Structure 1
């Protein structure tokens, strides 16, 4: 049955992360009910499982919604059932949270604590506002030094967009591409399988996967097994590797904030708005479908020097 879940996820062109999450929650649901088949269960069992997540495990609303989406996918898309209870199950409403944002000085401190490829990757995240997955999936062909542009292919929502390429990063990126070329030549001479290609491009263009244009900008230093095809090939840098390096840099900087690599994206948007950029421009750079999502960053315009002054400061400060 889990193979059927994976197959249907791939038929609908969902991401690998979505596939892994749905399989995880379907497996957890079945184990919670002592390995009973989902066809032998229904709305009561689904509600009991979701109540267990909310009450006993105290998961966040977003995690609760993800588990519910996985189970509705299982019953609706895999088992082909559209039952009344599927519409009656309550969906938790996620609360809007303010993002964690680093100041410019804090960003500089963290960046200076990183070295090599990790430093370049962090600079790219802060300089362009990319998600970490978008940066790691960059191909050589996506960098346009002549136009000063960086192309994001199949970003969140399977959408393309173009962002600025910071001029200060051009020398570092050129050096990175020179090292990438050496890795690519080594793979070609060793006869290793090419990099992963999106959709069916490896059949339409059989040799494209072995070309430098499609090679990763941030390749892994070793080969690994493709989780879907089982082919041994070179993957891009693992996000967990960079996350650990970022955490070490944050700790060494003595910054007491719950920051992650995604915080660099929040800081990019916040600092653009602080410097006077139009919110529609920021929305386009971030790839948000709705400007309401981008509006969350306007909280920075309501505090600090651009906002109201505290009455305590008026009373006690000259």
Structure 2
């Protein structure tokens, strides 16, 4: 199955929310009315849901009806003609990356594990699911690169490590790697060839949130780290394609809309002297 665990969880929540609404409105799930789909969308918008969140919930409900049609339980297409407003605000504006100062403050107080995990997202641009699936053989310290073998859509990519990430990887290996100080760990829940001792994002969230709290910085999740990587790299290389490759995006549009943005006066130096 190519669908990520994060997407599965989001769809599961979306289906539960739709079923709760349908029950409250006495909607016949197998024979919904022609306006029930739009009524659900309107109810979400009236409750203050952002267009992107509404689209996700509609996608989840649509998945439910695809499953019902596959099972032969119904032929209904309640969301075929619904209209969801388009949010024109770029994702990177609505949910911005961590700032340089925020990362500096957190990295200054973070322990070896939290520092390595944070830099994997903020410099390596890895998704948290990709970071937690890394194996020791995926890390090439000499060449300062790592291989993501469990990327989105089961795609493999090679990621260059920054100087700071390479250093953090060496420090982490010295403590938790084969022959390291903490090789024997009764709390380990993953195979010994895995880099991290835990495989769930909630445990990763706990460790990073602790480091952020010690630094007095608000933890806003893992994606602001990836957005920091995309934005900073774009400012240096001025090439959305190369940034998309670094982040593991299949489409440059994904990078452009939500993960990287050029400064408003980016062309200032290029236009100097015209």
TM-score of the aligned structures, taking structure 1 as reference length: 0.67
**1:179 is the counterpart of 2:176:** yes
**1:21 is the counterpart of 2:14:** no
**1:34 is the counterpart of 2:23:** yes
Q: Report the Cα distance in structure 2 between the residues aligned to 1:40 and 1:86, rounded to whole angstroms.
A: 13
- Offset, 1:95: 2.5
Residues 219-298 of structure 1: matches in 2 within 5 Å? Answer: 219-220=197-198, 238-245=203-210, 247-248=212-213, 252=216, 260-276=221-237, 278-296=239-257, 297-298=260-261
- Offset, 1:101: 3.9
Q: Report the Cα distance in structure 1 between the residues aligned to 2:262 and 2:254, rounded to whole angstroms.
A: 12
- Offset, 1:82: 4.6
Q: Report the Cα distance in structure 2 between the residues aligned to 1:173 and 1:50, rounded to whole angstroms.
A: 46
Could you tell me which of 241, 255, 263 is aligned with 1:300? 263
- The alpha-carbon distance between structure 1 residues 156 and 265, as it changes in their structure 2 partners (threshold 3 A), is same
Q: Report the Cα distance in structure 1 between the residues aligned to 2:29 and 2:20, rounded to whole angstroms.
A: 11
Structure 1, unpaired ranges of 5+? 1-11, 196-209, 221-233, 310-318
Q: Report the Cα distance in structure 2 between the residues aligned to 1:307 and 1:242, rounded to whole angstroms.
A: 43
Q: Report the Cα distance in structure 1 between the residues aligned to 2:232 and 2:8, rounded to whole angstroms.
A: 35
- Offset, 1:71: 1.0
Whether contact under 8 Å (1:247, 1:260) holds in the other structure is no
- The alpha-carbon distance between structure 1 residues 278 and 184, as it changes in their structure 2 partners (threshold 3 A), is same
- The alpha-carbon distance between structure 1 residues 153 and 73, as it changes in their structure 2 partners (threshold 3 A), is same
* Larger of the two Rg values belongs to structure: 1
CA offsets 1:275-318 (integer angstroms, 9 cap, x no match): 34533222211112222333353432535965999xxxxxxxxx
CA offsets 1:32-69 (integer angstroms, 9 cap, x no match): 233766224344333322221111x2111111011111
**1:44 is the counterpart of 2:31:** no
Whether contact under 8 Å (2:41, 2:54) holds in the other structure is yes
Q: Report the Cα distance in structure 2 between the residues aligned to 1:34 and 1:83, rounded to whole angstroms.
A: 17
Whether contact under 8 Å (1:110, 1:249) holds in the other structure is yes
- The alpha-carbon distance between structure 1 residues 236 and 276, as it changes in their structure 2 partners (threshold 3 A), is closer
- Offset, 1:166: 2.8
- The alpha-carbon distance between structure 1 residues 241 and 184, as it changes in their structure 2 partners (threshold 3 A), is same
Paired residue secondary structure (2:123): helix
**Structure 2 residue aligned with 1:58:** 48
Which of structures 1 and 2 has the larger relative contact order (alpha carbons within 8 angstroms, sep 6+)? Answer: 2
Paired residue secondary structure (1:151): strand
Residues 90-239 of structure 1: matches in 2 within 5 Å? Answer: 90-97=83-90, 98-99=92-93, 100-177=96-173, 178-181=175-178, 185-186=184-185, 195=190, 210=191, 212-213=192-193, 215=194, 217-220=195-198, 238-239=203-204
**Structure 2 residue aligned with 1:206:** none
- The alpha-carbon distance between structure 1 residues 18 and 307, as it changes in their structure 2 partners (threshold 3 A), is same
Structure 2, unpaired ranges of 5+? none
- The alpha-carbon distance between structure 1 residues 172 and 293, as it changes in their structure 2 partners (threshold 3 A), is closer
Q: Report the Cα distance in structure 2 between the residues aligned to 1:71 and 1:129, rounded to whole angstroms.
A: 31
**Structure 2 residue aligned with 1:203:** none
- The alpha-carbon distance between structure 1 residues 163 and 301, as it changes in their structure 2 partners (threshold 3 A), is farther
- Offset, 1:259: 5.2
TM-score of the aligned structures, taking structure 2 as reference length: 0.76
